[in-house]
Structure 1
């Protein structure tokens, strides 16, 4: 692709990028999908139908600065994983391409006989190739700063803006008259700050079949999802709420603005719909206590409980993941993670285990 064509294409996509962010509240039908981790790419918190395309786009880029988490963070802020998103500026699909830009970068990457920005494979691969081109330009430019930030700035404002300032445009810069100052500056900072959220451990390998392994396997697709007190349920993560003690982080109510799970909603999600467990940990114990399991007989998928006094005051639940580990949503400020059972919660609070 010649430099001029690339500059025009990136400017068109850049025009859409911030509009997409501003229009997110208008986008309906966001994708409901399992999120997964991948050991090869170090990717987490990504819908399972998007993950393989991100990894493929990364693998086909020859730029060292390209990473799956970079593409994931950008896609998340473009459309919130919604493959059917349409913005007021006629930007379409998960990567929010406008028709003119799609004509340059769009291909039938998924081999289904059509080229569509609403096809996840086509859109993610096109986004990856555009970003790869921008990363190459950023590296060759010699401009100071992180080449990922330079590429993101080029994606948002067009490479011409990066050349003008010999770097990421400053906060006072606006791409056009009448537009908000600092859009590109904030766009870059927002996505760069989000990259670690999508960098994660490898996917938990779960062997066997049956109710327990199947539930553990489903829960493992949510590794890296934020903890949100009162959030989450059978259909997936959601924002939560704060009560007089829970859901706060650094003095403010974090749960009301955090999309995620708490410990018991993660368990409910894992077992649904084959086993429709109640919503809270104490009730989940009550629903499964007729099948207690000793610590010596734990199997993947068993439920573990912690309490300060008895069954009525159980305060935490986790899923046994094998090899002495549990998969759980620990507390506000943390994410769904794999931890040793011995250190997941205070050892003296361990109450017992059940098998749904």
Structure 2
């Protein structure tokens, strides 16, 4: 939580009691599959168990170990004695007023101290979980992770004011760059894909899933990606933009259908777009209860037009490239895209 308008977060105090009640139920409803399949690397050993504990206590799959690690790295560089001229303290950079709401003696050493790693990381996770929840319930058209990070840095009021991440013109661009830097550095803290996606069996489906899984953590790039691997994309007047600029043309990555195409290319040469991939395989439909690793899963809008595709990853999950601002990742099938938009599955 950097120096900007940290006092704005105190507006959360009025609802603190309600938030804490809600958070108390999060531990029992955690999606274990989503957590277990997201590794973390590059963090000091004393931080890792607390990061995992904070993530496990949150019901939202968007809060991952890599996201928390990237945020701590940006806030303090993992320095317990970090501080700022605004009074922020510890690895997660809490100001006293905000710490009074979110801080606890999580490590049981008799102190409630923002400099203690356990206390700080658990408080960070608790606040980020709450902000992600607010972001998911909002009507703001952006990645809940980006919105939560902006709220952590500038206060949720700033997110509401701009109906999204504050622009670069706000507060000399501090919040804008804070969000950009953390989102861009998440992949550095994600464990090797071999530990985040285990694919049993053989055949074209599992092979395609393994091949695509090597690119977990790769950025989404609209129009990017080829059968040879990730590439820069393009913007079409509607898609590929972030923060008012064309992000795709400078982002090396995949979009949803190119990731699927890449995964299958050595055995099945699927067409380029999600709609074309559905048309090419719709004569081999698969029911929800019969899904196998590597099956194609599709989402469509109300008119029936296919707009998204992913690879079924087993255990009720999908490997996919979600949208601009997100990375290739494994998510629960029910929350990867709006549940009402799920159209069906096919087997190439």
TM-score normalised according to structure 1 size: 0.47
TM-score (norm 2): 0.48
Q: State which structure, 1 or 2, has the greater radius of gyration over its C-alpha atoms.
A: 1
